[in-house]
Amino acid sequence: MKLPRRFFQPLAAGAPEPFREVPIKLERMIHFVPPHNEKVRARVPDLAKTVDVVLGNLEDAVPADQKEAARNGFVAMAKATDFAASGTGLWTRINALNSPWILDDLFTLVAEVGDKLDVVMVPKVEGPWDIHYIDQLLAQLEARHHVRKPILVHAILETAEGVANVDAIACASPRMHGMSLGPADLAASRGMKTTRVGGGHPDYRVLSDPKGDAERSSAQQDLWHYTIARMVDACMANGIKAFYGPFGDFSDSAACEVQFRNAFLMGCAGAWTLHPSQVALAKTVFAPDPAEVNFAARIVEAMPDGTGAVMIDGKMQDDATWKQAKVIVDLARLVAE
Ligand code: GLV
Ligand code: MG
């Protein structure tokens, strides 16, 4: 199901027709900053040169009595830095739809910095109706403030109801940019027995072969495999991007790397980074492995029109592996640009 363009009307006089395409951009990490923190804000101009996306967070982790300061801090931050000059995306995570802050968030941000804002991340999306609401509100505010470029919408998948409606959310609006898994809220919504922000759990295990070696018998199962797979399918079926969300244990970069890599291999374009140490990790993980790129390039070269069957290093390649190879070669090219 694709929604008609009436969701964008009325347009501001002279405003361009909104487009549906999600720009092909490198978005390996969506780097979260707390805009009410003046010290962090002062570092944003430098930060913008090193990350793919800067996101000013207005929702969870911002105390209730700092919501206004965060909103105003975001406006200051957006005005002070030319994000477009470095090709860096400027996103915000607004407060939840049933919170007292959401209207002020959108009214202020679109009025003050609507032309600089690329994507609005919407938390706790439960169904397409939540996206329709944001869509209409953005259309009205863009029209009122003569915003020239449609602001895109990114949903966080972090409630059991949201997961049940993931396909309908993915195609709820031509504004949809993508979706992120929110493992912390999702764990709570599902009644999972955890106190973590993403990652595995030592008690959630793969049953091991009693004769296996020690390393194998301590292997962890990925708690998020099912939801990531569902999210990736819903996103790809609708031409939008999937992302892994946060990893909260900053002291465990090895586990963070594994979580990011599993998401990458399953089709995610990037992940959230909450700490500077995770930025380098995301850069490495969300780019294809050089050996894999070399092999993929050999497949593409061996089948110039993408059809037929060839053997490379004893492995059969055909039209389907050519398509897989193209994904890897195209991403490697984007990373190298
Ligand atoms: C992110 O918002 C999460 O709940 O994991
Ligand atoms: Mg959350």
pLDDT, tens digit, for every residue of 153-165?
999 999 999 999 9
Report the chain's terminal Cα–Cα distance, integer Å: 35
Which ligand gives the minimal distance to the CA of 96? 2
C-beta of 35 in contact with ligand 1 (< 6 A): no
Q: What is the pTM of this model?
A: 0.90
* Mean pLDDT to the nearest integer, 21-47: 90
Per-residue pLDDT at 8 exceeds 90: no
C-beta of 183 in contact with ligand 1 (< 6 A): yes
**Which of 74-83, 189-198, 199-208, 252-261 is predicted least confidently?**
199-208
Confidence of residue 217 (pLDDT cuts 50, 70, 90): low
Q: Ligand 1 mean position to 185 CA, how many Å? A: 5
C-beta of 158 in contact with ligand 1 (< 6 A): yes
C-alpha to C-alpha distances, 264 to 12, 46, 209, 245, 324, nearest whole angstrom: 39, 27, 28, 12, 14
Whose C-alpha lies nearest to ligand 1, atom 3?
182
* Mean pLDDT to the nearest integer, 238-261: 95
Among the atoms of ligand 1, which is closest to the Cα of residue 198? 5
pLDDT, tens digit, for every residue of 225-245?
999 999 999 999 999 999 999
pLDDT > 70 in the chain, percent: 90
Task: Please give the DSSP secondary-structure letter assigned to residue 171.
Answer: T
Confidence of residue 218 (pLDDT cuts 50, 70, 90): low
* Mean pLDDT to the nearest integer, 171-193: 96
Q: Using CB atoms within 10 A of its CB, is residue 257 exposed (0-12), middle (13-18) or buried (19+)?
A: middle
* Closest listed residue to residue 34, CA positions, set 18, 11, 58: 58
pLDDT, tens digit, for every residue of 271-319?
999 999 999 999 999 999 999 999 999 999 999 999 999 999 999 999 9
Per-residue pLDDT at 12 exceeds 70: no
Which ligand gives the minimal distance to the CA of 180? 1
Pairing of strands 53-57, 241-244: unpaired
In this predicted structure, what is the pLDDT of residue 92? 98
Among 186, 228, 273, residue to substitute to test ligand 1 (most atoms within 8 Å of Cβ): 186
Among the atoms of ligand 1, which is closest to the Cα of residue 188? 4
Confidence of residue 57 (pLDDT cuts 50, 70, 90): very high
Written as six digits, the tokens of 300 are 């593409």
pLDDT, tens digit, for every residue of 100-152?
999 999 999 999 999 999 999 999 999 999 999 999 999 999 999 999 899 99
- Work out the mean pLDDT of the chain and round it to a whole number: 91
Confidence of residue 209 (pLDDT cuts 50, 70, 90): low
Residue type, 261: R
* Mean pLDDT to the nearest integer, 61-68: 98
In this predicted structure, what is the pLDDT of residue 220? 76
Q: Ligand 2 mean position to 22 CA, how many Å? A: 24
C-beta of 245 in contact with ligand 1 (< 6 A): yes
